[in-house]
Chains A and B, each alone.
Chain A
Amino acid sequence: MSVGDRQAAHATLRGVTRVYPGVTPVHALGPLDLDLARGEFFSVVGPSGCGKSTLLDVMAGLNPPTAGTVSFEGRPVVGEVPDGIGVVFQEDASLPWLTVRDNVAFGLRRAGTESAEIARRVAYAIGFMGLDDFASAYPVQLSGGMRQRVCIARTLVLQPRLILLDEPFGALDQQTRLLMGDELLRLWRETGSTVLLITHALDEAALLSDRVGVMSARPGRFIDLVSTGWARDRDSRIATDPGFGAITARLWAALRPESMKAMGRPAL
């Protein structure tokens, strides 16, 4: 990549490594490089334990790299989560003691936005994520998928420029996942933000993304970068496109030996 391209990248990882200290240090990630273009939808797939979640944590500033640099919008990411980054976690992060509406408003209230603006943005996000009928309900009354929608709405309402998602649909059934994927695409188009999605589902990565990065077994490094070439206004129905099969096949070809390594069996 030329210097010019690097400066245009929305977020960058350069030589990022993460080693967990201890009696036997665990080399969890890297060294790896990544440049996210502004507005692109980038997915990361890889075998279990390869460090995908660590990658996301490092990019968000939740986890400092042992070596290498992280930058967002040209500024280094050090220690705290920069303004403009939103994160949706794998675990249910809805706050059980708040209603859906209060959950969604949570971040805005802390940021000191004025109440009229809060009300407007919250109403929009709730409507966008299809939560109108449940605005006054508590998370305990909702299904797993709906709770994730609450978390996404909570992130959306802050108008982040980079959205990081760590296997957000992992706990959902296949059909719900496909629909949620469509919602995510809709969100992406509406907000124009850059999206980094961590997923273990190859079809999901192939369907949703502009580019897919395939990670090796631990320590995770990128071993392939696949461009899908999809049009921006896509949804789950492009699964019928012949290109989809080819992309998924290529992803699996790169990933299969790594998965077997991760499972403890040598690649055939």
Chain B
Amino acid sequence: MTRTRGIIWTRVALIVGAVGLIELLCRLGVIKSLTMIAPSQMALELARMIASGELTAPAAYTFTEVGTAFAVSVVAGGALGALVHVHPRLRHALDPLLVSWYAVPFFVFYPLLVALFGLNALPLIAIGVIFAAPAMMLSTLAGLDRVPRVMRKVARVHRLSRVQEVRLITLPSAAPHLFTGLKLAFAYSFIGIIAGEFILSGGGLGYGIAYAYESFENRTMYALMLFVLLIATGVNGALHIWDGRLARRRGRT
């Protein structure tokens, strides 16, 4: 147990140390304020923006898009994964596509999507889904593949109907992988949408950062970056801990 503690404390020390170092270098002027402001100033500016309500609109815009992309990805990805699982021919046919999917830099489609659908939420959500859905699909596939064959027999010995089998055996067995899919779907939706807003958008957190950069408003820019960082680490961290807890109960690593 002491070793785990040692690891956690070292990690905390590392992060605190890194942040502290940046803070020091900023205060001493080694890092010029035109390049980067001190982390404490970032935090203060963020707090101010939250309090004044400036953050509400762009945050709401982004979160709605992320939420939509996430929901669509999970449903579509899960459904596709299940579909492909029961049709090996389809899986075989889609294999070349899946294998190249994440090699394609999808963001290059973003300008085209904007040209097609306008400078609104739709191209952003589309990019988010393109990025996130296959991850959910692959995770679903992995989970369904790994249901032990003996479980199928258990279902038949207990004379379960197909629906009962899926509900009581297949889904609980595949749950850890499905959860991984959810984690990935969130991360990819978030990344996809923020990146899209950054490159070419009319609103949202990503756009806010880009706009602040181009207007030389460092304080706003860094405050927003900090916010995005905190959200990303926060949500991913929470999902990770939850995953760990479920995994320990199941005995899988």
Contacts and interface: CB of A to CB of B under 8 A. Distances in A.
A81 B157 contact: yes
Interface in A95-137: 95-98, 106-107, 110-111
B151 A140 contact: no
A132 to B, nearest CB: 21
A71 to B, nearest CB: 18
B156 A80 contact: yes
B169 A95 contact: yes
Contact of B150 (A83, A93, A138): A93
A89 interface: yes
Contact of B249 (A85, A95, A140): A140
A139 B151 contact: no
Nearest to A97: B172
Nearest to B164: A110
B175 interface: yes
Contacts of B89: none
A150 B106 CA distance: 50
A92 B151 CA distance: 9
B148 interface: yes
Contacts of B149: 91
A98 B151 CA distance: 14
Binding site secondary structure of chain A: loop
Contacts of B154: 89, 93, 95
Contacts of A86: 157
Binding site secondary structure of chain B: helix
Contacts of B151: 93, 95
B159 A138 contact: no
Interface residues of A, number: 25
A97 B175 contact: yes
B235 interface: no
A80 B169 CA distance: 18
A139 B158 CA distance: 19
A37 interface: no
B159 A60 contact: no
B170 to A, nearest CB: 11
A225 interface: no
A119 to B, nearest CB: 19
A110 B250 contact: no
A140 B157 CA distance: 23
Contacts of A95: 151, 154, 169, 172-173
B3 interface: no
Contacts of B164: 110
A178 interface: no
Interface string A69-95: 000000000001101011101011101
A89 B251 contact: no
A140 B251 CA distance: 5
A91 B158 contact: no
B160 A60 contact: no
B153 A138 contact: no
Nearest to B157: A87
B75 to A, nearest CB: 23
Contacts of A85: 157
A62 interface: yes
Interface in A134-168: 138-141
Nearest to A99: B249
Given A80-B159, A95-B151, A111-B158, 12 more contacts: A60-B157, A62-B153, A62-B156, A81-B159, A87-B157, A91-B149, A93-B150, A95-B154, A95-B169, A96-B173, A97-B172, A97-B250
